[in-house]
Structure 1
Amino acid sequence: MSATLHYIYDPYCGWCYAAAPLLSAAQAVNGLQIRLHGGGMMAGARRTQVSPALRDYVIPHDLRIAQLTGQVFGENYFEGLLRDSSAVFDSAMPITAILTAPALGVDALNMLKAIQHAHYAEGQKVSELGTLSAIAAQLGAEQAAFHTSWHSLSGSATEQHIQDSRRLLTQLGGGGFPTLALEQDGQLQRLDISSWLGKAEAFQQWLKSHSAAPSAASGAFCSIDGC
């Protein structure tokens, strides 16, 4: 096929972590390009300090995601990061790292997946530049080049990217993250992925055949301001 899969995501969106196996399956579809659009759920004024209230709010969602998809949430996440009141969730930091990836020879989606794994499975602080630099290095990026690229994009460039992503979300009529849309011949078709969560192979087969997409309303997403 010759098409583009647009993925509006946020690094701190648990349901985007739930969708990660679907995106991995999409990477294996010949002729399909994947474009990432970071939505900034916890960027700017929405950046969030870890607190008992946040922990109590996200854990039921995380447990549901784990049960539905088999995605791993580690002990260091539940009992470490989510109990660390010094930790801050700032989407702009990892989004900037993902934006730097292509110039460093790293696939942007692979960068996102590595950040998600570090956050949810390992309980790392992915709003810290040192953590992001280490993740980039694991994927083959040279750390000095990563820092230079990250600083060149941090601030106004990342803010513009988030604004553009939110405009696309509005254009598609999406309610939050994750929102996916398939573009072919200049036409965008928003996809409801709820029926595919936990069924990556089925999603891959649909992309290859591109039959009619499910149209049922999805409750499996984070709003633009939080999960």
Structure 2
Amino acid sequence: MLAAEQSAGRGLDMLAALQVAHYVEGRRIADRAVLLAVAEAIGLPRDAFEAALTACGGEALDAHIATTRALMSRIGAQGFPTLVIERASGFTSVAVNPYLGRPEAFRDWLRTTLAQDVTDAVEVSGPNCGPNTCVR
């Protein structure tokens, strides 16, 4: 994801493709060859992605993981998936278990929850992610 974001601004697209590769296709997404193939499948130039993948390793990756772990510790996250809502007052954990297999119920809960934070004059913006891609 970091390499896709760095090379082409498409980290969320890579996330969606990696999830399909792992959960649906059963591929080992920790393998470099699989990462390269997934990146190519979503249209990322191989050379640019491979260079970014190399650059994102080592200290850059260690720093990203340390930052992520610190955030997880601060919000009490203990596993995957962990969902949180960032509000002006801080982070709020989202229990996902009640909504597994019930996306409409989750959507309704999320809309109600976000409506508490947003006035009619402000629109919530961000990526709209589906199983294969994210649209901004």
TM-score (norm 1): 0.46
Matches within 5 A, 1:1-227: 98-210=1-113
8 Å CA contact retained: 1:182, 1:189: yes
What 5-or-longer segments of structure 1 have no aligned partner? Answer: 1-97, 212-227
What residue identity is the alignment partner of 2:86? E
The alignment covers a number of residue pairs equal to 115
Task: State the shift of 1:144 in Å.
Answer: 0.4
Structure 2 counterpart of 1:24: none
SS in 1 for 2:85: strand
The CA deviation at 1:112 is 2.0
Report the identity percentage: 33
Asked if structure 2 preserves the Cα contact closer than 8 Å seen for 1:106 and 1:139, the reply is no
Q: Which moved more, 1:163-172 or 1:173-182?
A: 173-182
- How far residue 102 of structure 1 moved from its aligned partner, in angstroms, is 1.9
How far does the alpha carbon of each residue in 1:41-62 deviate from its partner, in whole angstroms, 9 at most, with x for none? xxxxxxxxxxxxxxxxxxxxxx
Deviation per residue, 1:105-161 (Å, 9 max, x gap): 353233123112222322323222121111111112111000010100111111111
CA distance in 2, matches of 1:124, 1:132: 10
Alpha carbons of structure 1 residues 175 and 118: separation in structure 2 relative to 1, 3 Å: same
Q: Which has the higher strand share?
A: 1
CA distance, structure 1, for counterparts of residue 85 and residue 10 of structure 2: 19
Q: Distance in 1 between matches of 2:24 and 2:109?
A: 29
Structure 2: which amino acid aligns with 1:168?
L
In 2, Cα distance between equivalents of 1:203 and 1:107: 26
SS in 2 for 1:131: helix
8 A contact 1:106–1:140 mirrored in 2: no
Greater relative CO, 1 or 2 (CA 8 Å, sep 6+): 1
Q: CA RMSD in A?
A: 2.0
Q: Supply the distance in 2 between the matched residues of 1:108 and 1:195 (Cα, whole angstroms).
A: 28
Taking structure 2 as the reference length, what is the TM-score of the superposition? 0.74
Runs of 4+ in 1 over 3 A off after TM superposition: 104-107
Gaps of 5+ in 2: 115-136
